[in-house]
Chains A and B, each alone.
Chain A
C-alpha cells in the first residue's frame, strides 16, 4: 500500500494543482458544499463499482490460470511475453505537500502517498521518508506533538533515518504545543527556517534531504488563538540520486543482501541499516543441551506494528535454543512492512486476509494461524504461540524444555504460559519457581495439538460472534477445569502500548512494572511437583510451614509483612464461595497487581512474594485449604468501593483482555 513507483506516463502536476485550487475555493463556499458532497458520493459509487468489477475479473483470471496449469506440464502453451516496465530515467520528482486544520496530504509525481482528513485523528506533525534514488515511500509516521513526549519520539525517529533520505513534513490541526526546544533544533538542523518559531495552530510544510539541501518550506501563521493559520500548499521538485549513492557498501554476503533489500525499502529501524556499523541480524545464541522444544513450531501472531515485530523477533532469535526454521510469522492483513521485517531475519511469513472486525478479527486470525501451524508441521505435538508485542526471555526455550513433558503427560493441564499475571517487580522473586493456576494468561504460551484439533478448532467462535479468542478459551466450557503452568518470574514481557485494547495509561498501570527474567539457563526447581497430585502435596507442605500473619493489621500496609527475607507467610481472606472474589479484588488493588479480573488462583489460593517472602493468600471457607486456618484467626474482609466506581471498572475489564 505504501509502495509507490514514479510513473513517467502520468504528468498530473498542473492538473492536480488546478483541481485543488478549484476544490478548496469551492470548499469555502457553503452553497457549493452540498454539490461537492453529492459529487463525492457519486464518485465513490463509481469507484466502488469499478473496484468490484476489477476484483471479479482478477478472480476469474486467477481461476482460469489455475485451470490451465492443471494440464500436463509438457503441453504446449502460448508463449506470452510479459511486457517489461519501461526503465525509468526520470531524475526529478514533483512533490506536493498540503497542511491545514482538517486535512493533510502529500503527493509524489501525482500519486497521493498520504491523505488524512479524518476527524479527530492524525493531529500533529506527519513525516514521510522517501528513498532518494527510487522515490519509494520508506516510512510514514505521525507525531501528535500537541501532546507531551511525542516530540521526543519524533526526534528519536528522525535520528534513525539515514543521511541522504528525503524528509517531508506537514502539520495537521496543531503541532506546536508540546514541540520542545530539542525537537525544534533537530528540525532546524534539517534546514527548516520556520521550525524554531512554529507556534500555536500554525500551518507548516517542509521538504528536505537529511544532511543536505532544502527543497521547499511554507508556513502560515495563526492570526489569533482561536483560529488556525491558512492552509498551505507547497509544490517543489526533488532531484533523485543514483541507486549506488543511496546504498551502503556492505560486504556481499547472504545476510547483507537481505539487509540491503530491507534498508532500501523501509526506514526507522536504526542501526540495522547503518553503513558503518550495522547491528547483526543473525544472533546464533548458544544451543540448549537436550532441547525438548527444538522441533516445536513457533507461531508469531502479528498485525501491522512492524517496529514491534522487529523488536520481538530480535529477542526471540536471541533466546537460547531457538530454532529459526520452526518460526512462522502470521500477519493479519496484506501489510508490506511487517513482511519486510520477517524477510530481513530470513524467517517465513504468512499473510492473512482480514476476516470480521476488531476482536473477532483477531480471533479469526488466531484460528487461521494455529491451523496453519499444525498443517505446516504435521509432526508437532505442540505449538508455541507468541505475539508481536512481547519480549522473549533469554531462557524462554530452556523454561519450556524443562516443563513441556508435563503438558504431554498431565491431562489436567491446559497450557504452559510464560506470563505470570501477578508477577510484578514487587511480587515476583524466584526464577526457578513454577505455579499451577486456573486462569490462562496467554502472552507467550504452549498449546497442545490434541487440545486444538479435538476441542478448540471445531468449535472456534465464528466471525460473527465478535468474541475475544482468549476470553473464549478461558470459559469453563473450554477450559473444563484444567490448569496452566506459569513461572513466578515471567519469561515474556508485554511492551506493546499501541494496541486494540491498549493505551499508554493502561500499559503504565498494569504492564510496565512486570518482572521479566533476564538470567540465562535457570534450572527450574522441582518440576515434578507441578503434577496434579504432587502439587497438592506441595501446597500442604507449604501451608504447614507457613507462619500465619497478624490478621489485626491492614493487609494493604507494608508492615503487614515482617521485614524478613525467604520466609513463608499465609493470610486468610473472606471468600464465601468459589466465585466470591470481593476481598481478593480489593487486596489485589491495594497491592498494585492485576485487579481487573481474577488471575493466578488455584483452588482459592494465590501465591506471590512480598518483601522477598513467599506470601500465600487463602480464601475462606471456599478454598479446600481453609482447614489450615487456625480457629482463632478471622478471615480478613475488605469492603468493595461504592457502586458507581465499581461500574466504571466493568468496561476496563473487557478492554483488558485482548492485549
Chain B
C-alpha cells in the first residue's frame, strides 16, 4: 500500500514527496524501537483538524492524495514522552544508517533546579533528525509536579552548528511550554499511521499560550540566605492550608473554565521565594473581568468555601473573598483592562471608600507552584514592582492594603444607596 502510494507521490513534484518520505522513514525508525511519538506539528495538525471527522471515521482508509505531509514546510514536529523510552543509543546509530543526521539538545533538569545543590545528569530536551531538505523536530516532554507535561527551551551551545536547520522557524523551543497530558488517537493520514492529539484544535489553542516560566530558584535561595525561612509550626501549618486552599480553588475555577493567576502576596511569594509567604495569611488570585461568571460564587460555596465578602460589582471594582479552612482567606480580585493599563479595585467596608490598583499590561504564563500548574503574569517583575514597589525583595510584615501598595490610588466613594449591593459582608 505504502509503496504504491509512494510511487504516486514520486510522480508529483520532488519537493513535496521528500517531506512525506522523511516522515515515513522517521516513523519507521521510531516504531522499530517501540518509541511512542505523537504529531504536534501545528501546520499539519491545522490541516488535519479541518478533516478531523472524516479522518476519525476512516482510520484505515487509503488517501487519494497527499494532503497533509506534503504541504510545504521545513519541519515536521513530533512529541515524545520521556518516560516512555529508555534512551537507547542504538536509535541514533540506526538513524544514521538510514541517512539521518541528528542533533541532540540537552540541558539542566528543571525538576532538580529548585533543590539546593543537586546536580543531576543533563536531560535531552530536543532532537532534530535531518534528511535531505526536510527535518523532524522531536520535542521531549517531561512530567512535572502538578500533573502536567513540560518541554524545555531550545538553546544552542557554543560548539553547535547554528546552520544545522533554520532554528528560527521551529514551532517549539523559543520558550519552555506547559501542556495538559493529551488524549491520543491513532489515525492514518496520507497512508501513514500516526498518533495525534484526539482534539487537534484544542491542542493548537493550548499551544498558542503554553509559555512556561520557571520559578527563580537561584534568587529564592539567595533570598533565604538573607532572610532565613520561617520553619515554625505555625508557618508550616499555614503553608499547608494555603496549599490545599490553592489546590481547591484551582480545581473549582478550572472546572468552570475560568482563567486565573496568582496575584498580590501569593504572586510575590512565588516570584521572590518560590513558596507561600508564611506571614501573608491569605491566598490571592486574579481574574479578568471578561472571564467573570455568575457561577463562581455558588461553585466555591459548593466546594465548601463560604462567601466572606463581596465588594463592588461586575461593572466596577469587583472583589470576592471566601473563607477557607482555619482562618485562611481566599481573595479573588477582578481585573479591568484599559487601553494602556490594567487595574483592580478595592473597597473599605466601613467608609465606602474606593481604591484603584494600577498595573502595566501583562500576558499570562504557566508556572509550577506548590505542585500545581498555574498562571502568573509573564511580566512578573513589572507586576510585582507595580504592587510592591522597588523594595519588594525586603519582607514586610505590616502591610496595609489601603496605603502600602505603590500602585494604589483613591477612587472616590461608593454612593450610599449602592452600599447594600457593593459592600456585602457575611
Contacts from A to B (Cβ < 8 Å): 69-70, 72-74, 76-80, 82, 254, 325, 334, 348-353, 355, 368, 371-372, 374-379, 453-454, 458-459, 462
Contact = CB atoms under 8 A, between A and B. Distances in A.
Given A350-B120, A355-B117, A378 B239 contact: no
Given A73-B154, A378-B144, A355 B111 contact: no
The 5 closest A-B pairs by CB, nearest first: A353-B117, A74-B168, A378-B145, A350-B120, A375-B111
Given A72-B174, A372-B112, A378-B146, A77 B158 contact: yes
A77 B160 CA distance: 11
Contacts of A77: 156, 158, 162
A355 to B, nearest CB: 7
Interface stretch (B28-36, B86-94, B282-290): B86-94
Q: Does more than half of chain B's interface fall in helix, strand or loop, or is it mixed?
A: loop
A79 B173 CA distance: 21
A394 to B, nearest CB: 23
B118 A351 contact: yes
Interface in B158-212: 158-159, 162, 167-168, 173-174
Interface in B215-232: 231
Interface in B96-128: 109, 111-112, 114-121
Given A325-B83, A351-B119, A453 B371 contact: yes
Given A72-B174, A82-B159, A372-B112, A458 B145 contact: no
Contacts of B120: 348-351, 372
Contacts of A379: 143, 147
Given A74-B168, A377-B143, 6 more contacts: A73-B174, A348-B120, A378-B143, A379-B147, A458-B231, A459-B236
B293 interface: no
Interface residues of B, number: 38
Contacts of B25: none
A74 B167 contact: yes
Contacts of A76: 162
Contact of A458 (B112, B143, B239): B239
Contacts of B159: 82
Contacts of B4: none
Interface in B132-161: 143-147, 153-156, 158-159
Given A82-B159, A348-B121, A73 B167 contact: yes
Interface of B: 83, 86, 88-90, 109, 111-112, 114-121, 143-147, 153-156, 158-159, 162, 167-168, 173-174, 231, 233, 236, 239-240, 371
B121 A325 contact: no
- Choose among A80, A372, A375, A454 the residue with the greatest number of B CB atoms under 10 Å from its CB: A375
Contact of A254 (B89, B143, B147): B89
Contact of A454 (B112, B155, B240): B240
Contact of B118 (A70, A79, A325, A372): A372
Given A325-B86, A375-B112, A73 B153 contact: yes
Contact of B158 (A82, A334, A368, A459): A82
- Choose among A72, A334, A351, A453 the residue with the greatest number of B CB atoms under 10 Å from its CB: A72
Contacts of B115: 368, 371-372, 375
A378 B147 contact: yes
Nearest to B237: A458
Contact of A376 (B89, B112, B173): B112
Contact of B112 (A79, A350, A377, A462): A350
Nearest to A63: B218
A470 B69 CA distance: 58
8 contacts: A74-B168, A78-B158, A254-B89, A325-B86, A368-B116, A368-B117, A374-B145, A375-B115
A254 B114 CA distance: 33
Contacts of B90: 254
A80 B111 contact: no
A73 B155 contact: yes
Given A352-B117, A375-B111, A453-B371, A73 B173 contact: yes
Contacts of A351: 118-120
B206 to A, nearest CB: 19
Nearest to A324: B86
Contacts of A372: 111-112, 115, 118, 120
Contacts of A70: 155
Contacts of B158: 77-80, 82
B116 A350 contact: no
A376 B111 contact: yes
A454 to B, nearest CB: 6
Nearest to A328: B120
Contacts of A462: 231
B169 to A, nearest CB: 9
A515 to B, nearest CB: 36
Nearest to B88: A254
A353 B153 CA distance: 26
A514 to B, nearest CB: 33
A210 to B, nearest CB: 32
B293 to A, nearest CB: 30
Nearest to B233: A459
Contacts of B231: 458-459, 462
Contacts of B239: 458
Contacts of A368: 115-118
B156 A350 contact: no
Contacts of B371: 378, 453
Nearest to B181: A379
Contacts of A82: 158-159
A466 to B, nearest CB: 15
Nearest to B109: A376
B249 to A, nearest CB: 18
B44 to A, nearest CB: 22
Nearest to B174: A72
Nearest to B126: A73
Given A74-B167, A82-B159, A254-B90, A349 B117 contact: no
Contacts of B154: 73
A309 to B, nearest CB: 17
Given A254-B88, A325-B83, A368-B115, A458 B121 contact: no
B118 A69 contact: no
B310 to A, nearest CB: 32
A375 B114 contact: yes
A601 B5 CA distance: 73
Nearest to B107: A69
A352 B118 contact: yes
Contacts of B168: 74
Contacts of B86: 325
Given A73-B154, A73-B167, A325-B83, A458 B117 contact: no
Nearest to B244: A454
Contacts of B147: 378-379
Contacts of A72: 174
Contacts of B240: 454, 458
